[in-house]
């Protein structure tokens, strides 16, 4: 691979003067397409014969390529993290408040790279791009080239990180100054630390979790079923059929959006306000919150692909950095109940309450013991996964995030501290729920800026971890 020093994404980064301390936009940016002709074998044991990555960069890569920062996007994100594409754009990139001159990720100091992951619908190879197999000469097939659609393979966080490492080679970046991500982007940052421990110095994990809970998987499944059950889905071949599962995608986004907000935030924003000021006694929009959710769903359905949504939520479900570090169960720990055990329990007649309170609480105690054992096993697996990592960590959570609660971030922090890794942790008070990682919150932005600018700790044992 050829190194590409002094890369910029457009002239505007250096053409916009910024006085010391004043923040500004990266200005006009132009995405780049990187084509990879080498086959890519995925975790699902399928292979892409070639693939494209759409990339945006901001700032300038220095002579020794030591100032590069990789941004990993979340579920509905893309490569367009900052700046604008044209003077007609009404909205900047999705993390424009984070990335720019003198901002938390300072483009006067860092060369910032944001990739659109494969499987997405914003230009990188995914369900909406042409399947090269459909263009091959075949006497049994007729018609024009077809998009991948549902034939695009299922992908994982590890697959994304693998392609990002390939791009790193193409850019001539051996070691990233930092890899930063929020939500699903934080999962990618963690996977980088585990899979490529020698290739990053700092790992910033924001509003994240070591793996999805059963409740989170359930939310994703409801969203997927909303799409799959739409008659216009056509088994994923809606582009060929000339249809689009708009209703399913709207419902999926509405479900997801509810989980990104908090009850208090929705109460403050909407309460029980009626759109018309009175009950209409029907099923059209009456409450302001209904109008808001429908608007968010409608807008999302116009800019996102249904097959991509299915792929992305599955990648979330599959994420678990401990999968290569199996949980070992000691002989003294009880195994999970079998179907037969559960059937016997359900068939057992109810017994009258015992006056012996201590005996009655045995089941609860056993359940607590089982939960403690499971937590202990998961902590050990995380410790094994992080044991060989070599970077410094900043972990950020938000007090009102119930999708990926602060307790889940603390699991990551506890495992890192238990293995002697240098980690700083901040739990930010914010009213915006899971979406807080997208907001310009001074304490949050300051923590990221300070972490990226601080000297690198060469000895991991110098830091036992900091909490804030």
Q: Cite the active site residues.
A: 183, 401, 434
Residue carrying the six token digits 């693939």 = 51
**Quick one: how far is CA 30 from the chain centroid?**
24
The DSSP-derived string for 216-242 is HHHHHHHHHHHHHT-GGGGGGTHHHHT
Both tokens of residue 41? Answer: 């074998």
User: What is d(CA 92, CA 97) in angstroms, rounded to the nearest whole number?
Assistant: 9
Quick one: which H or E segment has residue 97?
none
Closest among 92, 119, 122 to 23, alpha carbons compared? 92
Indicate the helix (H) or strand (E) that contains 409. helix 406-418
Q: How wide is the angle at C-alpha 378 spanned by C-alphas 375 and 381, nearest 5°?
A: 155
Q: Which residue(s) pair with 130 in the sheet?
A: 147
Where helices occur in 281-361 by DSSP H, the ranges are 288-303, 306-318, 339-347, 357-360
Torsion of CA 400, 403, 407, 410, to 10 degrees: -100
Return the H-helix or E-strand segment holding 188. helix 184-195
- DSSP class of residue 283 equals S
DSSP state of 175: S
Number of H helices, E strands in the chain: 14, 13
CA dihedral 225, 227, 229, 232 (to 10 degrees): -170
Taking every pair of Cα atoms in the chain, the longest distance, rounded to a whole number of angstroms, is: 80
Q: How far is CA 174 from the centre of its chain?
A: 24
Residues contacting 207, CB < 8 A, separation 6+: 182, 183, 186, 396, 397, 398, 401, 404, 409, 434, 436, 437
Query: For residues 352 and 365, what is the distance between their CA atoms, to the nearest angstrom?
Result: 19
Q: Measuring CA to CA, how many Å separate 391 from each of 208, 219, 320? A: 18, 33, 19
């Amino acid at each position: 691979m050829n190194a590409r020093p002094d890369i910029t994404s457009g002239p505007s980064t250096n053409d916009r003067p910024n006085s010391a301390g004043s923040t500004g936009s990266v200005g006009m940016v132009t995405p780049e397409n990187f084509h990879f002709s080498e086959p890519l074998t995925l975790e699902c044991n399928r292979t892409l014969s070639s693939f494209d990555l759409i990339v945006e960069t901001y700032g300038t890569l220095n002579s020794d390529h030591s100032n590069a920062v990789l941004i990993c996007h979340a579920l509905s994100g893309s490569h367009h993290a900052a700046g604008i594409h044209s003077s007609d754009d009404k909205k900047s990139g999705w993390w424009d408040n984070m990335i720019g001159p003198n901002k938390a990720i300072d483009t006067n100091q860092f060369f910032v790279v944001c990739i659109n992951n494969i499987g997405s619908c914003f230009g990188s190879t995914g369900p909406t791009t042409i399947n090269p197999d459909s263009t091959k000469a075949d006497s049994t097939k007729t018609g024009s080239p077809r998009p991948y659609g549902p034939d695009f393979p299922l992908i994982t966080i590890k697959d994304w990180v693998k392609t990002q490492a390939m791009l790193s080679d193409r850019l001539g970046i051996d070691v990233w100054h930092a890899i930063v991500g929020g939500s699903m982007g934080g999962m990618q940052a963690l996977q980088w630390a585990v899979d490529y421990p020698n290739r990053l110095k700092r790992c910033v994990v924001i509003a994240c979790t070591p793996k999805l809970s059963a409740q989170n998987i359930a939310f994703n499944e409801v969203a997927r079923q909303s799409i799959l059950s739409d008659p216009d889905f056509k088994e994923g071949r809606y582009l060929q059929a000339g249809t689009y599962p708009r209703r399913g995608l709207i419902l999926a986004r509405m479900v997801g959006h509810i989980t990104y907000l908090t009850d208090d935030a929705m109460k403050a924003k909407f309460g029980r306000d009626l759109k018309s000021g009175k009950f209409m006694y029907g099923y059209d929009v009456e409450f302001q919150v209904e109008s808001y959710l429908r608007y968010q769903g409608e807008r999302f359905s116009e800019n996102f692909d249904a097959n991509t949504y299915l792929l992305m939520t599955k990648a979330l479900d599959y994420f678990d950095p401990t999968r290569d570090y199996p949980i070992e169960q000691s002989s003294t720990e009880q195994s999970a109940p079998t179907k037969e055990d559960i059937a016997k329990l359900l068939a057992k007649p109810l017994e009258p309450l015992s006056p012996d309170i201590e005996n009655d609480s045995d089941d609860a105690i056993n359940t607590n013991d089982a939960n403690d054992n499971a937590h202990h096993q998961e902590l050990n697996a995380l410790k094994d996964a992080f044991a060989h990592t070599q970077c410094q960590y900043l972990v950020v959570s938000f007090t009102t995030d119930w999708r990926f609660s602060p307790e889940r971030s603390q699991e990551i922090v506890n495992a890192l501290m238990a293995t002697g890794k240098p980690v700083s942790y901040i739990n930010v008070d914010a009213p915006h729920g899971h979406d807080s990682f997208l907001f310009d919150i001074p304490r949050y932005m300051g923590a990221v800026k300070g972490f990226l600018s601080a000297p690198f700790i060469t000895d991991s044992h110098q830091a036992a971890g900091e909490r804030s």
